Structure 1
Amino acid sequence: MARTLLSPGDVKGGWAIIPTPAKDDASDWRATKTVDIDETARVVNGLIDAGIDGILSMGTLGEAATMTHDEKLDFMKALVDAAAGRVPIFVGTTCINTRDTVALTRQALNIGADGTMLGLPMWCAPSRDVAVQFYKDVAEAVPEMNIAIYANPEAFKFDFPQPFWAQVAEIPQVVTAKYIGVGNLLGDLAAIRGRIKLLPIDFDYYAAARMDDSIDAFWSSGAVCHPLVTTTLRDVVAAARTSGDWGAARAFQARLGPTAATLFPNGSFKEFSTFNIPLEKARMNAGGWMKAGPVRPPYHLCPEPYLEGARKSGQMWADLGRALEAQD
């Protein structure tokens, strides 16, 4: 069990955020035990062998909202067993209320997860006081568990303002956050005062790292399309920070950026968020590095043109990974 809390300085490098691999019948509401345990173990081992620094799971694209309770426990155990302590494993434990969230977080701790990627309950749009108290309550109830705040404004109907960050920075268990965008980054960094490691998405990592030296880690869902792209991004930014020459990192970002273009329907994050799960799983399946499998209901329906864009994104990411392999 995770009895020692991490510090923000312990969170570094490229963190993969992974889907929950699904068996072939998972889109049928009648299906049970839909988690592909063998693929879970293969993916975890493959990511660790590739040099990934940590694993986040059971968020939106991880289908935490559509797995049964038993499936969640099965998946957590498969993740923890496969990782065997080699990298931190954070699992999503967000439920629709605080009491169920606490119960699931305790179970995750007992299974051996290092932390929880914790979003806000999805029902009413929370006030700032409600959002802050939720994190305080979970931290009080499970004080041994590291917390990564899952800061997704579309999913949780909350804009994560600077006063929120200032308040949750006072909670020792909150060590990191899955973060979106760079528009408010400097203000949010000022609010947290070094007490939380903010993880931007891979597509924003170069820009965020140029903005502030504390940004030395990021999250990557593309890692399961080809992990070498993620680790290369980590390494070129680290080299640039050491040498002061950002030319190679800038050039790599120019190769990475176009892989995002077709993932967001009509260039809209809001539209993407409506179909996040099928788009990400289509992207990952098309990348060919892992079998993410089908989408669990009710989110398995998605316009075909959107899916085709996601598949193209996954194929482009995988092509970049193969090109990097050929360079070695």
Structure 2
Amino acid sequence: MRIHPADINGMVGIVPTPASPDGDKWSTVDSLNLPETEKMIRIVVDAGIDIVLTNGTFGECATLTADEHITFTACVAQTIAGRVPFFAGVGTLNTRDTITRSKALLAAGADGLFIGRPMWLAMTQQQIVEFHRDLAEAMPGVPQIVYDNPVAFKGKIDQDAYIALAKIPEVVAAKHVGGPALDSDVAAVGDSLRILPVNDHWLDAARKQPDLVTAAWSGHTACAPAPLVALAKAIAARDWDDAARITARCSWATEAMMVGGDLAAFMNYSIPIGHLRFAAAGLIDPGPTRPPYTSLPDSYREGGTETGRRWAVVQREFVGETVAA
């Protein structure tokens, strides 16, 4: 499946990796819950999510074994069965391992790659561009979505690097965390690379540059796909009033999640917080988190659970709207 920036539209849903009941034990050989994975993928694709991404941070790219990673990817690909594009997440500590793992994930059925750059040392902007250029040379024609997370990867991709990345045909999109650089990054790359804001920032960015900000990502897809799909439809129709209504409900669901609003502190616990919110939302059973990220301060526990409970409320609202329509 050849994918171009113009093909990246709608809601890009990032999903977790459901774990077996003993997934939190170091001695567990296979921590995957494949029946729950199939159920999760059916839920989000049937709901209308446009593109599926796996194995980012809370998707536990860092805690899966290589065999688990490949098996999970194959399960997702088989369940999607070509209905929507599927980008498999991959991130290792060096370029060669990333290429080797990526080729295995593509052989397992992924359409493209959701790329996390090596993070042992902070990479310079030149190194970031060279890294993605090397991947494109090793896997020509394979679409890449860049994972731009300043906290996880010890620095943000700057505008000049984005312009250079946009010249690599294989780099079709970037998962952006927002902030003051969002609008200027979008303008800098134009239609050569699709910048993806998080769902809460999509409306403001799309109003300013509607022809360029045609897609967004959400890490809450497995909590409540219905409102996220409704948001994508409202923005595609440029129904800004309805998009504002939906965004307000989604923002209400997530406002309890980050204690004190500190993104850096939240990121340290985003895996267990994610499992709490998915479990409380009730659509899937995420299972336990995998080691070493198994502990969580009590101050974050209620926020994660409350976020899931709120997403369950919003999901019911929008499923109800669909039935009424």
Q: Give the secondary-structure state (helix, strand or coil) at the position aligned to 2:12.
A: strand
> Secondary structure at 1:180's aligned position in 2?
coil
2:267 corresponds to which residue? Answer: 273
Corresponding residue for residue 303 of structure 2: 309
Q: State which of 128, 132, 143 in structure 1 corresponds to 2:129.
A: 132
Structure 2 CA distance for aligned equivalents of residues 282 and 178 of structure 1: 23
Determine the structure 2 residue equivalent to 1:264. Answer: 258
Question: Matches of 1:14 and 1:64 in 2, distance apart?
Answer: 21
Q: Deviations over 1:279-313 (max 9, x none)?
A: 11111111001111110111111112202101101
SS in 2 for 1:198: strand
Supply the AA of the counterpart residue of 1:110: A
Q: What does 1:198-277 correspond to in 2, within 5 Å? A: 198-213=195-210, 214-239=212-237, 241=238, 246-277=240-271
- How many pairs align? 321
Greater Cα offset, 318-327 or 275-284: 318-327
| Deviation, structure 1 residue 251 | 2.1
Give the aligned residue type for 2:130.
Q
* TM-superposition CA deviations, 1:22-73 (whole Å, max 9, x none): 0111111111110111111111111111111110001111100110010001
Distance, in Å, in 2 between the alignment partners of 1:246 and 1:92 is 32
1:291-306 matches, cutoff 5 A: 291-306=285-300
**How far off its partner does 1:230 sit?**
0.9
- Secondary structure (helix, strand or coil) at the match of 1:176 reads strand
- Percent identity between the two aligned chains: 36
Aligned to 1:169: 166
State the match for 1:190 in structure 2: 187
Within-5 A mapping of 1:1-328: 2=1, 4=2, 6-213=3-210, 214-239=212-237, 241=238, 246-327=240-321, 328=324
Range with bigger deviation, 69-78 or 222-231: 222-231
Asked whether the 8 Å contact 2:4–2:143 carries over to 1, the reply is no
Q: Output the amino acid matched with 2:99.
A: V
Does the 8 A contact of 1:229 with 1:317 survive in 2?
Answer: no
Task: Give the whole-Å Cα distance in 1 for the aligned partners of 2:318 and 2:296.
Answer: 32
Give how far 1:217 is off.
0.8
Deviation string for 1:66-102 (max 9, x for gaps)?
Answer: 1001000110100111111111111112111111001
Residue 265 of structure 1 and its aligned partner are, at CA, apart by 1.6
SS of the residue 1:223 aligns to: coil
**Separation in 1, partners of 2:121, 2:271:** 21
Q: Distance in 2 between matches of 1:89 and 1:301?
A: 31
Deviates more, 1:248-257 or 1:317-326: 248-257
8 Å CA contact 1:182–1:208 kept in 2: the answer is: no
Superposition deviation, residue 182 in structure 1: 4.0
Q: 5+ residue gaps in structure 2?
A: none
Q: 2:241 is matched by which residue type in structure 1?
A: G
Is contact 2:227–2:246 with CA below 8 Å preserved after alignment?
Answer: no
Cα distance in 1, alignment partners of residues 142 and 17 from structure 2:
22
Shift of 1:110: 1.5
Mapped partners of 1:34, 1:324: distance in 2: 33
- Structure 1's unaligned 5+ residue stretches are none
